[in-house]
Amino acid sequence: MRRVTGEFDRCATTEEVVRAFVPYPLPPRDPPLALDGRVGELLVTANARLRELELAGDLVPSIEWFVYAFVRKEAILSAQIEGTQATLMDLLAVEASSEAPVGADVEEVCGYLAAVGYAWDQLVAPDGLPISMRLLSQTHRRLLQGARGAHKQPGEVRRSQNWIGGTRPGNAAFVPPPPHRLPELLSEFERAIHDDSDLPPLIRVGCLHVQFETLHPYLDGNGRLGRLLITLLLRHWGLLTRPLLYLSLYLKRYRSEYYRRLSAVRSDGDWEGWLEFFLEGVAQVAEETVDTARALHAVVEQGRKRLLGNDDVTVLSLRLFELLPKNPILSVNRAMELLSCSRPAAAKALDALESAEIMFPRDHHRRNRVLVFDEYLSYLRQDTELDG
C-alpha cells in the first residue's frame, strides 16, 4: 500500500449494508506524487508528442478534415470500450444518408458527437461555460440523448447508489460514494480543476480522470464523459487546442489494464502506476495520430493528382473531390445535395471519381449506388472494427 486515497462509508441498500468508497480530494498526498523516475520521463515524452500533434495541426492546410475524422474515431472507440457495437463505417453511413440513426448503438455514438460539439463550443466561446459540473451535466444530457439513455437521468447527478461490476453492490468490483456525499465531493472536484497547483497540467488531467471515474457521478455514461473530460482539460490547459487526440484507442487496446489501474489507485494508492500507464498512452496515441494525419494527407494529395490526370475530370468532380474527406461515403443523392446540381451532373461527377480509382462501389445495387473513398477510410478505420 503506497498511500490511503479515501475512506469507506457504510451505506445500507434495501438488502444489505455495503462499503462505499469516498475518495479524498485531489491532489494525491501522504506522500505527495513522486514525479521523478519513470513518471517524470514519461511526462517529458508525452508532452513532447502532444506538442508535435499540436504543430502537425498547425501545418496541415485543411485541419477541419482531421478534426472531423478524429472526433468520430474517438467517439466510436470510446463507446466500444464498454461494448457498443457500432463501427466507424456504420456512423459514416448514417451521416451520408442524412437520415435519423437506426439502432441504439449508432444513436449512442451520435450522442457522443453532440456532446463533444457542445462542450467544445462552450469552452472556446468567450461567454461559454467554463469546465464545471454545470458544463459536464449539460454535456451528459446530450451524451445520453436517444432511446437507451432516456431512463438513465440524462444531465442529472445520480440520486441513488450505483456500483461497477457484479449484480448488486454487495458483490461489486467497486461501490462509488453514496449519493448524499456527491454535492460536497463534486465541489471539491471542481476546485481541483480551478485551484492553483504546482503539478504539471498533464499530471492533473490524468488524476482528474481517475477521480471522475471514482466518483461515478451519473447513473450511466461516466466512462464516456470521463474520457471526454480528458479532451476538454487538454484544451483548458492549452496542451492541445483541437480535439485531435483519440486516447480511447489506447484505453480500448489495454482495457483490462485500464480498469486494473483505476482500481489500484483506490485499493493501493498507486497514483504513479496509473500515471505511467496514462502518460504512455498519451505519447503512443499522439504519435500514431500524427502518422495517421500524414497518411490521410498523402492519400488526398495522390487522389487529387489522379483525378486531374484523368480524362473524365470535370469542374464538378473536382469540387466533389474536395468535399470527400468530410463525406467519404457518397450516394448520388448526397452528391446532388453537396453540389446543388442535377442528378445526371452528380452521377457524372461520381463517375469521374470512380474512373480515377478514388471512389469504389460499396454495394452493387445500381439504383442506389453508394461509393466509398476506400483508401482514406482504410487508414481512418484502423482499430475501429469490431473484434471477432
Q: Which residues here bind Mg ion, judged by CB under 5 A?
A: 220
Query: What is the nearest approach in angstroms of ligand ADP to the Cβ of residue 104?
Result: 12
Which position among 33, 34, 81, 192 is part of the footprint of ligand ADP (CB under 6 A)? 81
Nearest CB to Mg ion, comparing residues 86 and 335: 86
Query: What is the nearest approach in angstroms of Mg ion to the Cβ of residue 106?
Result: 16
Which position among 262, 282, 320, 346 is part of the footprint of ligand ADP (CB under 6 A)? 262
Nearest CB to Mg ion, comparing residues 74 and 220: 220
Nearest CB to ligand ADP, comparing residues 21 and 65: 21
Kindly state the cell numbers that stand for 361.
462501389
- How far is 50 from 245, CA to CA, in rounded Å? 9
Question: In this structure, are residues 212 and 203 in contact, taking their beta carbons and an 8 Å threshold?
Answer: no
Which partner from the list ligand ADP, Mg ion, none does 169 bind, CB cut-off 5 to 8 Å by kind? Answer: none
Nearest CB to Mg ion, comparing residues 20 and 144: 144
328 binds ligand ADP (CB under 6 A): no
Phi then psi for residue 3, to 5 deg, are -160, 165
83: left (phi > 0), else alpha (psi -120 to 50), else beta? left
Q: If DSSP codes are grouped into helix, strand and coil, which group holds residue 24?
A: coil
- How far is 187 from 202, CA to CA, in rounded Å? 21
Which position among 12, 48, 150, 173 is part of the footprint of ligand ADP (CB under 6 A)? 173
Binding part of the chain for ligand ADP, among 87-95, 229-237, 256-264, 324-332 by CB under 6 A, reads 256-264
Which partner from the list ligand ADP, Mg ion, none does 347 bind, CB cut-off 5 to 8 Å by kind? Answer: none
Residues 6+ apart with CB under 8 A from 32: none
What is the total count of residues that contact ligand ADP (CB under 6 A)? Answer: 16
Host H or E run for residue 365:
none
Which partner from the list Mg ion, ligand ADP, none does 250 bind, CB cut-off 5 to 8 Å by kind? Answer: none
Question: In this structure, are residues 383 and 288 in contact, taking their beta carbons and an 8 Å threshold?
Answer: no
Which position among 164, 192, 199, 341 is part of the footprint of ligand ADP (CB under 6 A)? 164
Which partner from the list Mg ion, ligand ADP, none does 164 bind, CB cut-off 5 to 8 Å by kind? Answer: ligand ADP
Which x/- pattern, by CB under 6 A, does the window 192-231 give for ligand ADP?
---------------------xx-----xxxxx-x-----
- How far is 132 from 140, CA to CA, in rounded Å? 12
Residues 6+ apart with CB under 8 A from 59: none
Query: What is the nearest approach in angstroms of ligand ADP to the Cβ of residue 86?
Result: 13
Kindly state the cell numbers that stand for 311.
480524362
What are the start-end ranges of the H helices in the chain? 37-59, 63-81, 88-97, 104-124, 133-143, 182-194, 201-215, 222-236, 248-253, 255-268, 271-308, 315-323, 332-339, 343-355, 374-380
Which partner from the list Mg ion, ligand ADP, none does 153 bind, CB cut-off 5 to 8 Å by kind? Answer: none
Which partner from the list Mg ion, ligand ADP, none does 263 bind, CB cut-off 5 to 8 Å by kind? Answer: ligand ADP
Phi then psi for residue 215, to 5 deg, are -70, -35
Query: What is the nearest approach in angstroms of ligand ADP to the Cβ of residue 200?
Result: 23
**Regarding beta strands 6-12 and 370-373, do their DSSP bridges make them parallel or antiparallel, or are they unpaired?**
unpaired
CA distance to 83, 103, 244, 266, 378, per residue, from 143 (Å): 16, 16, 19, 27, 27
- Please give the residue ranges that form the binding site for ligand ADP (CB under 6 A): 81-82, 164, 173-174, 213-214, 220-224, 226, 259, 262-263
